Amino acid sequence: MYDPTLRWSNGPVKTKSKSESKTPSGDESLPLYRQVKKALQKIIEAGHYGPGKPLPSESALASQLQVSVGTLRHAVDELVHEHVLVRRQGKGTFVAPHNRARFMFQFFHVERRQDPEDNEPTSEQEFPDIACLGFSRDKADAGEARALRIKLGDPVFRIDNKLSLRGKVVVLDRLVLSTAMFRNLTEKRFVERASTVYALYQTDFGITVLRAQERARASAASKVVAAVLSLPAGAPVMEVHRLALTFGDKPVEYRVSFINTQAHDYVSVLSKKA
Amino acid sequence: MYDPTLRWSNGPVKTKSKSESKTPSGDESLPLYRQVKKALQKIIEAGHYGPGKPLPSESALASQLQVSVGTLRHAVDELVHEHVLVRRQGKGTFVAPHNRARFMFQFFHVERRQDPEDNEPTSEQEFPDIACLGFSRDKADAGEARALRIKLGDPVFRIDNKLSLRGKVVVLDRLVLSTAMFRNLTEKRFVERASTVYALYQTDFGITVLRAQERARASAASKVVAAVLSLPAGAPVMEVHRLALTFGDKPVEYRVSFINTQAHDYVSVLSKKA
DNA sequence: AAGTGGTCTAGACCACTTG
DNA sequence: AAGTGGTCTAGACCACTTT
């Protein structure tokens, strides 16, 4: 039952803090379940557990952290809400895998526009066909360096992809990755990946994208963008700048997407429902 | 302690269902806390409690629904996560108020673009100045009728607003509301509202907007849109179609926003952080 | 002091998965 | 049968607000 990968500092998470805590590590007044959550985050970030290997059981974690199961569950609940962990009854608790389902619901927001008279079955989310248009090494420009928190001129991978829905090219993606973070990445490995790009980051590089922020705007398509999207140069397109982050809000990927919104929308839900 | 507004059907939420439940109301296998959640939703939707009047206390609700406090809290937790309720320690649990803070974080996603060299203090969220450009009655067109689930030609209010940040007009909003839902709404009441538009819906009409879905695209500014946004006709603008919903996913408001993205972005967060 | 929500515990039992 | 997560309970105590 003892797992040697569990080493961060055995013993209670909280030293019964009746203001006896000698090291004001900032956890003074934090509720116990928040401290447990932080401990769990540290365990997860260490990288010993992937989507294939479950964390220690809740009862094991609770006893090792010297808290009740209820408190441990409270902490796990929050990480599940944040899509960091997933629970599977009977099997265990896992780092959330980057499968297609997650990609679609969390990171892909382009949907075919419903024509008024179109009575098709609610346009089930469609997974795009992805083709790589270019893979190269380059130096980070100012904006990329700032976003990725690297130095101007640091080496980066630059990867262009086109995404199609029902055979029509709808999105042009330009990814920028720090070569320091993705050592040994090659075009072959990128193109021959088994699943999504983020699944590749996770399984091959141990980097789990947790969330992202996007800033969108309308712009006029440049000649090359227009060509890929089958639009006249200068046509209005949506330009979405995404920064994907992992643990500790560390930047992983900077991506600019150009979207042909002639027949598709960029969809955003303001607070999901039950 | 007994509240006469609590009348939905005293007694246990669940009849100890050992498959003795005579009326298969669809709650058969639902966990108890989900049934409690539904009961709470019904209580809230009845409209007896507003942002100013707290719900009965957790212990009161628990005993009236004949569940433990822990189960009651589990149900409330979910409604708090969905921004339906807010808890205030020492005071009570309230229907989530539509104040400016909520508006900014949930429904207003336009932010000034950070210039590379701009080192201002992280561009705190700015609340826009809003001016009404037009208020009229009209008949719903096909798209509006479908969105609002009313009949084609049904009477609607049509309200145009321009939103400015730092004195620059950045957004043109065109709201469409069913007159049946907003009886007695007048331009005067609309313009002289104390807070946000959604706060007006909530306090004056008992309609609480819970969530919304937006579909965005790039388009070329029409002459009138361009004029309001100080752009040349045909310039690329973002066009955002929003449908705002209340309890039971009932549509409340259909809104089209035109955004000048020369110096501002439409911001979207893919999974919030802790 | 009394009432509210917030945290934490300990334990029982259920549902699902695996050997 | 044993191990995992999922639900539910009952009760203690803490923190905050109001009277």
Contact A261, B217 (CB under 8 A): yes
Nearest CB to A214 within list B238, B242, B270: B270
Å: B32 CA to D1 C1': 29
Encode pLDDT of A44-66 as tens digits: 999 999 999 999 999 999 999 99
Beta-carbon neighbour count of residue B87 at 10 Å? 16
B89 touches chain A (CB under 8 A): no
Å: B32 CA to C15 C1': 15
B31 CB-to-strand C distance under 7 Å: no
Q: Which residue's C-alpha is at the least distance from the C1' of C16?
A: A90
The residue among A141, A160, A161 whose CA lies nearest residue A151 is A141
The residue among B243, B238, B240 whose CA lies nearest residue B215 is B240
Rounded-to-integer distance, Cα A179 and Cα A200, Å: 15
Å: B182 CA to D18 C1': 37
Kindly list the residues from chain B whose CB atom is less than 8 angstroms away from the CB atom of residue A236: 218-220, 236-237
Helical H segments across A105-196, by residue range: 142-148, 187-191
Any residues with CB less than 8 A from the CB of B79 and at least 6 apart, and which?
Answer: B37, B40, B41, B44, B85
At residue B13, the pLDDT reads 60
Task: Return chain A residues 15..74 having CB < 7 Å to nucleic acid strand C.
Answer: 31-34, 66-71, 74
Encode pLDDT of B181-231 as tens digits: 999 999 999 999 999 999 999 999 999 999 999 999 999 999 999 999 999
Q: Which of residues 181-210 of A touch B (CB under 8 A)?
A: 210
User: How many cross-chain Cβ pairs, A to B, lie less than 8 Å apart?
Assistant: 132
| Section A161-189 average pLDDT | 97
Instruction: Give the nucleotide at minimum CA-to-C1' distance from B88.
Output: C5
Rounded-to-integer distance, Cα B148 and Cα B246, Å: 12
User: Which helix (H) or strand (E) is B43 found in, with range?
Assistant: helix B32-45
Paired with B258 in beta bridges are B172, B239
At residue B272, the pLDDT reads 80
Rounded-to-integer distance, Cα A215 and Cα A209, Å: 18
Q: Which domains are present in chain B?
A: 4-15+26-95 (1.10.10.10), 100-109+126-266 (3.40.1410.10)
Instruction: Tell me whether strands B236-246 and B211-220 are parallel, antiparallel or unpaired.
Output: antiparallel
Judged by CB atoms closer than 8 Å, whether chains meet at A237 and B219 is answered as no
A81 touches chain B (CB under 8 A): yes
- The SS3 of residue B211 is strand
On chain D, which bases lie within 7 A of the protein's CB atoms? 3-11, 15-18
Dihedral angle computed from the Cα positions of residues A106, A110, A116 and A118, in that order, rounded to the nearest 10 degrees: -90
Judged by CB atoms closer than 8 Å, whether chains meet at B210 and A143 is answered as no
Kindly list the residues from chain A whose CB atom is less than 8 angstroms away from the CB atom of residue B218: 218-219, 236-238, 259, 261
Paired with A157 in beta bridges are A137, A177
Paired with A255 in beta bridges are A175, A242
At residue A29, the pLDDT reads 84
Dihedral angle computed from the Cα positions of residues B144, B145, B147 and B149, in that order, rounded to the nearest 10 degrees: 160
Kindly list the residues from chain B whose CB atom is less than 8 angstroms away from the CB atom of residue A269: 211-214
Distance from CA of B236 to the nearest CA of A (A): 5
Residue A16 pLDDT level (bands cut at 50, 70, 90): very low
Encode pLDDT of B116-137 as tens digits: 544 444 556 799 999 999 999 9
Dihedral angle computed from the Cα positions of residues A199, A139, A220 and A110, in that order, rounded to the nearest 10 degrees: 0
Interior angle at CA A148, CA A186 and CA B266, nearest 5: 115
State yes or no: pLDDT of A118 exceeds 90: no
Q: Which residue of B has its CA nearest to A239?
A: B218
Residue A27 pLDDT level (bands cut at 50, 70, 90): low
Rounded-to-integer distance, Cα B46 and Cα A204, Å: 53
**Residue B145: alpha-carbon gap to chain centroid:** 19
Q: Which two tokens stand for residue B15?
A: 């009849």
State yes or no: pLDDT of B28 exceeds 90: no
Average pLDDT, chain A: 89
At residue A114, the pLDDT reads 77
At residue B148, the pLDDT reads 98
Question: Is the whole-model pTM more than 0.95?
Answer: no
Q: What are the C-alpha distances in Å from A233 to residues A163, A222, A225, A237?
A: 19, 6, 8, 10
Kindly list the residues from chain A whose CB atom is less than 8 angstroms away from the CB atom of residue B216: 216, 238, 261, 265-268
A31 touches chain B (CB under 8 A): no
Q: Which residue's C-alpha is at the least distance from the C1' of C14?
A: B31
A236 touches chain B (CB under 8 A): yes
Rounded-to-integer distance, Cα A18 and Cα B249, Å: 48
**Could you say which DSSP state residue B105 is in?**
I
The position carrying tokens 């961060």 is A8
- The SS3 of residue A82 is coil
Footprint of strand D on the protein (CB under 7 A): A 54-55, 57-60, 70, 73, 87-93; B 31-34, 66-71, 74, 88-91
User: Which helix (H) or strand (E) is A230 found in, with range?
Assistant: none
- The SS3 of residue B74 is helix
Average pLDDT, chain B: 89
The position carrying tokens 């808890």 is B87
What is the tally of helices (H) and strands (E) in chain B? 8, 10
Å: A28 CA to C7 C1': 15
Å: B93 CA to D17 C1': 13
Judged by CB atoms closer than 8 Å, whether chains meet at B82 and A265 is answered as no
Distance from CA of A265 to the nearest CA of B (A): 5
Beta-carbon neighbour count of residue B120 at 10 Å? 9
At residue B81, the pLDDT reads 97
Distance from CA of B273 to the nearest CA of A (A): 7
Å: B267 CA to D7 C1': 39
**Residue B50: alpha-carbon gap to chain centroid:** 14
Contacts 24+ apart (CB under 8 A), A196-200: A196/A98, A196/A99, A196/A100, A196/A103, A198/A98, A198/A103, A198/A107, A198/A244, A199/A97, A199/A98, A199/A99, A199/A103
Residue B16 pLDDT level (bands cut at 50, 70, 90): very low
Where are the strands (E) in A74-151, listed by range? Answer: 85-88, 92-95, 110-112, 129-139
- The SS3 of residue B274 is coil
Q: Which two tokens stand for residue A163?
A: 């995404």
- What's at A87, amino acid-wise? R
Contact A140, A150 (CB under 8 A): yes
Paired with B132 in beta bridges are B161
State yes or no: pLDDT of A198 exceeds 50: yes
